[in-house]
């Protein structure tokens, strides 16, 4: 299968260089906890956040330019010349939306020059003479120079080797963003301004059968796909909503005991497995609680249990109705009545404490995708050298509870190595599996050498952070996202998220 044809050649994404994120981690740590909910200053940990730093754009027009200075101007002086309007524009650009991407990998030669130019930028006043071009849509990029697709947080790089000027434009933008972040935080902390710049995106209007708005008024925290419906979970209630409908009806009302729905999976008879979670502060630690429910097709409880091993995990159901719960490196298999069928200990080779995805395949077996474990290497130079000989390896596992081992590896290096996060794994219609990550949507067939990207992140109809992803039986992709407003307490700090609008985006992608 060939990769989807683009308007211009777009190679694989590259991770944001180390210098792009190491220098702001302290600032992110400093503001962690100041705001909660989706409208916090920064969402330091999201399922689809690259390097856990949401870097995006909104109204900042880079075509206004960054001019070179005739005489030497120090880095600090250059930053101090930014006026308040420019600071707020950079702050909004950095605070809103998806994680920053590049449309191709930086070559090794470009990366080496980038590091040297960054030193010259900070210490010798070597600044760009021009600026990147602001792009309203991806089709506006001509393939020449540096472009910024601001609304989708994507740098568009030319295919040819980047010049020093182009690399300096990237460096200059990043430093201005970091400076603006620090300035706004300091202004709020010192009382110089009452609150942070408002960057909350509004929900797009429903558009025919492509974007369907949820018509209910209930808070929806978790969504799962059933055979012909979506399950919408809120506080002490789960609704069912027919595919391509905006109206839901009650499936079950149940006292979750302060817990929230973490995951749901439909069984073979139209019933539903529900994994509940609760995190309770206990001194300097956090107590993680979990509970499993099995509801029949009428919403009646088949079993309810809270085993000690439960906190967290992923769930999936095989063709026999057995429930698979993966917690770290252990797989628990339960029958429909909650009786344990088997436990499977996975080898230390798998990075099960990092990230993994679970789903039922077309053959009725449950599959798991996980990363091969890597040593902890904190020095950037050592890590870069290690990755040259140890590329990231995504392993696909098929479970068979009746076999001696209980599982078998069916594929390695499934996902291209530059993809930083697995994201979601869903059973496909035309392909065996569909993977969704911050780098795009990938399809994979058993026996193929590697997954193929069919959609780039910026081609999706919405910013991905905070969205959920599904594959319909007819092959369409569905993105679901709640666009939130945030309540504010008497001290001006956000303390809870109040849903404003939930939208379902139905997308057809040519593979």
Helix (H) or strand (E) holding 201: none
Assessment of whether the complete model's pTM goes beyond 0.85: no
Report yes or no on 259 lying in a domain. no
Report yes or no on 232 lying in a domain. no
Report yes or no on 318 lying in a domain. no
- Residue of 72 and 178 predicted with greater confidence: 178
Please report the pLDDT score of residue 49 as a whole number: 35
Mind listing the pLDDT tens digit for each residue in 403-447? 999 999 999 999 886 665 667 899 998 899 999 887 789 999 999
Average of per-residue pLDDT across 40-55:
28
Report yes or no on 76 lying in a domain. yes
Is residue 221 a contact partner of residue 214, using CB atoms and an 8 Å limit? no
Nearest-angstrom CA–CA distance, 231 and 248: 9
Q: Which two tokens stand for residue 486?
A: 């945030």
Please say if the pLDDT value at position 18 is more than 50: no
Of 371-385, 423-437, 461-475, least confident by mean pLDDT is 371-385
Please report the pLDDT score of residue 364 as a whole number: 95
Range of the domain at 128: 18-189
Residues 6+ apart with CB under 8 A from 342: 333, 401, 406
Report yes or no on 59 lying in a domain. yes
Token pair 């309007």 is found at 85
Report yes or no on 456 lying in a domain. no
Average of per-residue pLDDT across 450-467:
84
Report yes or no on 80 lying in a domain. yes
Please say if the pLDDT value at position 200 is more than 90: no
Nearest-angstrom CA–CA distance, 185 and 353: 33
Count of domains for the chain:
1
Mind listing the pLDDT tens digit for each residue in 95-145? 655 666 778 878 888 988 999 999 999 999 999 999 888 888 888 999 999
Report yes or no on 119 lying in a domain. yes
Please report the pLDDT score of residue 45 as a whole number: 26
Say what percent of the chain tops pLDDT 90: 39
pLDDT band at 488 (very low <50, low <70, confident <90, very high): low
């Amino acid at each position: 299968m060939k990769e989807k044809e683009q308007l211009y050649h777009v190679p694989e994404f590259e991770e944001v260089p180390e210098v792009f994120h190491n220098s702001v981690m302290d600032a992110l740590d400093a503001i962690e906890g100041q705001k909660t909910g989706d409208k916090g200053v920064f969402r330091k940990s999201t399922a689809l956040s690259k390097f856990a730093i949401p870097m995006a754009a909104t109204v900042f027009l880079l075509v206004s330019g960054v001019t070179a200075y005739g005489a030497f101007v120090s880095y600090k002086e250059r930053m101090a010349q930014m006026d308040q309007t420019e600071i707020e524009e950079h702050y909004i650009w950095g605070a809103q939306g998806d994680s920053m991407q590049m449309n191709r990998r930086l070559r090794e030669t470009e990366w080496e020059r980038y590091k040297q130019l960054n030193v010259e930028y900070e210490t010798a006043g070597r600044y760009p003479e021009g600026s990147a071009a602001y792009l309203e849509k991806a089709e506006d990029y001509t393939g020449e120079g540096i472009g910024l697709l601001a609304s989708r947080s994507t740098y568009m790089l030319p295919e040819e080797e980047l010049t020093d000027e182009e690399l300096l434009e990237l460096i200059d933008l990043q430093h201005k963003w970091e400076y603006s972040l620090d300035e706004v935080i300091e202004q709020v902390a010192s009382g110089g301004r009452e609150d942070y710049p408002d960057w909350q995106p509004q929900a797009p209007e429903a558009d025919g059968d492509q974007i369907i708005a949820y018509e209910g008024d209930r808070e929806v925290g978790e969504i799962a796909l059933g055979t012909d419906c979506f399950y919408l979970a809120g506080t002490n209630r789960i609704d069912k909503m027919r595919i391509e409908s905006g109206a839901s009806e009650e499936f079950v009302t149940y006292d979750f005991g302060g817990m929230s729905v973490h995951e749901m999976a439909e069984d073979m008879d139209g019933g539903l497995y529900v994994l509940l979670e609760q995190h309770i502060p206990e001194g300097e630690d956090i107590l993680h609680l979990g509970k499993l429910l099995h509801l029949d097709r009428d919403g009646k409880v088949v079993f309810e249990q809270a085993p000690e091993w439960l906190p967290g995990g992923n769930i999936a159901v095989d063709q026999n109705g057995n429930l698979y719960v993966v917690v770290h490196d252990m797989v628990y298999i339960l029958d429909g009545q909650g009786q344990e069928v088997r436990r499977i200990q996975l080898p230390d080779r798998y990075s099960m404490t990092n990230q993994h995805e679970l789903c039922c395949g077309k053959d009725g077996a449950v599959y798991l995708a996980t990363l091969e474990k890597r040593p902890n290497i904190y020095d950037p130079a050592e890590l870069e050298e290690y990755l040259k000989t140890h590329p990231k390896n995504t392993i696909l596992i098929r479970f068979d509870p009746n076999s001696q081992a209980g599982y078998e590896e069916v594929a390695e290096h499934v996902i291209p190595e530059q993809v930083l996060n697995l994201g979601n794994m869903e059973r496909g219609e035309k392909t065996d599996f569909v993977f969704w990550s911050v780098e795009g949507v990938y399809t994979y067939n058993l026996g193929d050498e590697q997954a193929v990207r069919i959609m780039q992140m910026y081609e999706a109809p919405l910013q991905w952070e905070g969205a959920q992803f599904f594959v319909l039986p007819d092959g369409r992709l569905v993105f679901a996202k709640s666009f939130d407003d945030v309540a504010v307490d008497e001290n001006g700090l956000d303390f809870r998220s109040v849903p404003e609008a939930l939208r379902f985006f139905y997308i057809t992608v040519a593979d």
